[in-house]
Amino acid sequence: MMVDFYYSIGSRYSYLASTQIAALEKETNCRVAWYPVNSVRLINQRGVSPFKGEPVSGQYEWSYRELDAKRWAELYEVPYVEPRGRVRFDSELLARACTAAKCLGKVVEFSHLLFAAMFQDCLSEIDERECTVRASACGIDATEFCTALAATETLSQLDITIDRAYCSGVFGVPTFITSSGELFWGNDRIALLRHYLRSHSRNT
């Protein structure tokens, strides 16, 4: 079964979910297609953001989200360095960079490296230069990457992906949508996604 994975590089829970995808594919025999989005734009398109103004509930308190992410990272046995207040980045640039890598056939490898830049490495900024360095590290020609990053076609593809996510009912990241139309939102729903995929496999 195919599973679409909508994610944003600046999202803690997208990063955490990304570390589990290879195992998910192996355990359930699914294939995951990676779709980078700018979650800020996606949420604004929905019209209501839980991150603006006073937190709507305790789960949106930044201190709790940091603690929660660290707990998940410990469970997954993956590195986690909180980026808030440490890393400067442009969410639109990172979404375009991942889209450029997708157009060049390296979205999974590049996204992992960009997630590492955000949540593992002790960087103070992720700019266009750092994106190019990460692209080169996964085998993309630097000039080709910069050309794709600046191309209007890349921005158009990102717009299409965000609209596709919106029309599919995606309201936040990470979100997984199976080819049968089942939507699972959040890193903590991977257990439910895994159960669904295994059950579907047994019943087909």
Neighbours of 32 (CB within 10 A): 18
Chain segment 160-180, per-residue pLDDT in tens: 999 999 999 999 999 999 999
- Confidence (pTM): 0.93
pLDDT average, residue stretch 129-149? 98
* Residue 204 scores a pLDDT above 60: no
What span, in angstroms and rounded, lies between the C-alpha atoms of 84 and 182? 32
Chain segment 95-110, per-residue pLDDT in tens: 999 999 999 999 999 9
CATH topology of domain 2-202: Glutaredoxin (3.40.30)
Nearest Cα neighbor of 37 from 7, 4, 17, 3 is: 7
- Provide the percentage of residues in the chain whose pLDDT is more than 90: 87
